[in-house]
Structure 1
Amino acid sequence: MDRGRSTLGLVALVGVFIIGLVTLAYAEHDNGPGKSKNGFWRALSWVIGWLYFVAWSVSFYPQLVLNYQRKSTEGLSYDFIWLNLLGFVAYSIFNVAFFSSSTVRESYRRAHDGEENLVRANDVFFALHATVVTGATLWQMYYCGYRRPKGRLVRPVVFAFIGLTSALTVVYLLAVLGHGNPMWEQGSNSNFWTMLSWLYFVSYIKLVVSFVKYCPQVYLNYQRKSTQGWSIVNVSLDFTGGFLSFLQLFIDASLENDWSGIYGDPVKLGLSLLSLGFDIIFMIQHFVLYGDRDRDEYFASAARHDSDAHLQLDTGDQDDILDERQPLTTA
């Protein structure tokens, strides 16, 4: 079963890669010779950006499908999912502001010697999509009637969730109160009380959450000595997305001849590196440390499922026999 899902994930990645190459060829052709000396690299950056969007976005769905197939969310950490939701809300705020707000873009240019920020449309769509799908996973955990993980949110995570949510609320209030204030809207990020500084603070929330959220899942896998219930296809796609995201950031910084753009978007850089690091840990847990145990658990679960199905069938047959033995009633 795991092998089948892994194969499906690999086929999906190959398909996405082929589509990307076709799109790249079209974009380069449309650019035309001489229109831009960097036309190829800009087209490549565009394709890589949407490939990372697809890989990272698709990476959420194997877990949703796995939960649905098993009618269970056992193996998922409450802490992981709740922190994931909070982190993506923060990431969405940062990306939407940097991409769509002319005030934020102008403030960034002042702080970076006239250079543009490197947030792209695919960054915005990924963050918003991830927020929605993470919410859907929470819905499965609480409202779909699936078997739920044992335990509850640990106290430090509860405190962190409350604290970070409060921080986001403060940022929102500051944005409302500071609207039209030149110091707030136009000050550089060297001054703490500016819009740009607080947006960076929001991005750091995402980075901290991304680091912290992986730790409970790594520990849960270690505690159970199993990765059963944790989708390895999710991990493979996440690893691919992290690599492509880092590659796009590197290419864009090179094209703009502004390497400060890499740390000018610290959340994208940090997310890429965190994803790569933790995904390697998950792969080691799944394929090296707990692989044999996961296979044993899978076959044991399949055997229990077959046994339950036969028991229900036998019970149904007995009921049919009893029904046939009942005397016919007449009006």
Structure 2
Amino acid sequence: MALYDYDALLVLSFGGPEGEDEVIPFLENVTRGRGIPRERLAEVGEHYFHFGGVSPINDQNRTIIANVEKELARRGHDLPVYFGNRNWHPFAEDAAAKIVADGHHRVLVFATSAWGGYSACRQYDEDIQRLRENAPELEFTKLWQFFGHPEFIKLHADELREAWEKEGGEGTRVLFSAHSVPTAADNASGGPEDAQLYSRQVAEAARLVADEAGVSDYEVVWQSRSGNPATPWLEPDVVDRAVELGDAGASHIICVPIGFITDHMEVIWDLDTELREAVEERGMTLNRLATVGLTDEFAGLVVDLAENVAQGAEPASLSTVTAQGCTVNGAPCSPECCTASRPAHANAS
């Protein structure tokens, strides 16, 4: 049987290159309309060329999809899963065309972000609105933000607890890292009545994970900022803060990549490369914990969200901070929500 009245699920993501010849065209898509010179894109592209021009994001999303398909089948749901990206193959427009050709109409959308904010939420609404222009016969319902979902918290807490029991104590510092955004964008996230929703959601998820793991001393830090250096972004930067902690006597960093569900470029470059190099240059050690999106339990979380929407129920959450979602056809949660102009960054996925 289908999932109640829904007959397809679209996994909607950012996209990433899968070869050296794809890097610059991909970055041109990411930065379209922002006037970023090709020379700057080539500089950013060095992150990808370091890994043969391949971002892990597409393969990891395919793993998520395979796990979700397995979990849907286990629960008796005959719900086909499609994969579409904003910036690179497979494009979301092609996925929507395939959904139409396969005869489906009511589509659930899992956006690969746990958070609110322009880049993390509203831009996916804009993607859905664009899909509707080409496929008006489809109805898209986006699933809820899941930063406070008990399974999301437990998966991170289990990783952190195990690391802390082995490595915690004097000299060890715990840093929860998420993607930085301009402070203006963060101020606009959630709208005037719920401002700074993005940073508050990240702080809340970190608190919930630390509490469940039994870790009382931790910090929230930010990473992957780009664009005009004069534009204020969320701080402190993860590398800068790790260096400061090392100068103050820390010998070991446990980094929880709370902002990311998979190991894409901002994880394998900004954390596994730049952060690790900075830490090791100072004689410190680093344990970057795993992202949680490739686990069977995470696939269960996705199917839980789908069932919640199909049943008209809000998902389970350990948080009282706003979790938005269940919007139809790309309608924003409110007209004022997350309206800040998007940052001109190119180092994604």
Question: Is TM > 0.5 for Structure 1 vs Structure 2?
Answer: no
Greater helix share, structure number: 1
Normalized against structure 2, the TM-score is what? 0.28
